[in-house]
Amino acid sequence: MKTKTYLVPALLILQCLSVLHAASFGPTFTTTGALATDTASWNYTLDASYAGSGDPGTDSNMFIARGESSISDHSIETILGESAYYLRTVNTQNTNFGFYLMNLDFTSAPGEQAQVDYSFKILGNDTNNSINPADWHVRYTNGTSTVGVSAYTELDQTFSFLDDSSAWTTVSGSFTIDAIDGTNRGALLINSGTSGSLYTSGGGYYLSDYTVEVSAIPEPSTLLLMVGGFLTFITYTKISRNIKKSSL
C-alpha cells in the first residue's frame, strides 16, 4: 500500500520533468591546422566542402562556414588563448556569407515554447582595411535544410567587434520560438549582411566558444501539475512519518 502511495506523485513529477528537457549544441574547435584552401564553403562536421546549395545532411549540430570566395581558406587556429575557427579571404557582400550551426533540436511540447540561449566569441583580422565589423547579425530558423540567408529570420540584436586581432568580443542573447512538435532542424546564422568590401584579401574572421542551449518553457498547467506533484509527495511523506511514530 505504501508503494502505491509514493508511486502516484513520483510518476507525476517524472512526467513533468520529461517535458522540461534541455539540449546543448555548439562546435568544438580543438585540433589546430589547415582544413581547406581555395574553398568557398566548408562543412566542418563532415570534413568536406559544401557546394553552396542543397541539403547538407541531417547530422545534428552541423557547422558550416561560407566564405563565398573561391579563394577562401579555412583552418583551426589558436589566438589570444582561444582555439578558433578562422575563415580567411571572404566575400561578405554575398548575403549567404556566414557561420551556420544547423540541425538543432528546437522541439518542445505541443502548446509550449522553447527558449534558445546562444553565446560566442568573435574577432577580426583586418590586413587590408577591408573588414567592416559593425552591425553584424544573428539569425535563426525553426526548421530548414537550407544553408542560405533567405530561410533565416533576423533577430533584433546586432553587434560589432574588433578587427585588429587585439581582443575577443563576446556576443550572447536569447529568444523564444513557438511550440514545435517533432522537428530537429532548427538553425542559427552569424553573418554580416552586406557589410564590408567585396573581398577581404588576406584578412578574415575568428569564431570561438560557440554554444547554444535550448530549453522548453512550460505552460502554466504544466507548472501547476509539477507543484501539485511535489506537494502531494511531501504530504504523503509526512503522513507516512506520522504513522510510523504512532505505531511505536
**Lowest mean pLDDT: which of 14-28, 97-111, 169-183?**
14-28
The confidence band for 93, taking pLDDT boundaries of 50, 70 and 90, is confident
Strands of the chain (E only): list them.
Answer: 22-25, 33-36, 41-43, 48-49, 62-66, 73-79, 82-88, 98-104, 113-125, 136-141, 153-159, 169-177, 186-191, 204-217
Checking if the pLDDT of 246 tops 70, the result is: no
Domain boundaries, the chain: 1-20+219-248, 21-217
Helix ranges, the chain (H): 2-19, 220-247
Mean pLDDT of the chain, nearest integer: 82
Residue 226 has a pLDDT of 47
Residue 138 has a pLDDT of 96
Q: Degrees (nearest 5) of the Cα angle 167, 172, 177?
A: 160
Sign of CA dihedral 41, 138, 33, 201: positive
Residue 76 has a pLDDT of 98
- 108: CB partners within 8 A, 6+ apart: 114, 179, 180, 181, 216, 217
Residue 190, class by beta-carbon neighbours within 10 Å (0-12 exposed, 13-18 middle, 19+ buried)?
Answer: buried
Residue 194 has a pLDDT of 60
Q: Cell for 159?
A: 553587434
Residue 28 has a pLDDT of 96
Contact assessment for residue 179 and residue 110, using Cβ atoms and an 8 Å cutoff: yes
- Span 57-67, mean pLDDT? 95
Instruction: Report which DSSP code applies to 72.
Output: -
Residue 104 has a pLDDT of 92
Distances (CA, A) of 13 to 113, 179, 216, 235, 237: 20, 22, 16, 14, 15
Task: From the options 1.20.1340, 3.40.50, 2.40.128, 2.60.120, give the CATH code of 21-217.
Answer: 2.60.120
Checking if the pLDDT of 186 tops 60, the result is: yes
Distances (CA, A) of 20 to 11, 219, 221, 222, 232: 15, 10, 13, 9, 20
Task: Report percent pLDDT > 70 for the chain.
Answer: 73
Q: Residue 234 corresponds to which amino acid?
A: I
Residue 4 has a pLDDT of 47
Task: Report percent pLDDT > 90 for the chain.
Answer: 50
Name the one residue in this structure whose C-alpha cell is 574572421. Answer: 205
Instruction: Report which DSSP code applies to 237.
Output: H
Contact assessment for residue 138 and residue 190, using Cβ atoms and an 8 Å cutoff: yes
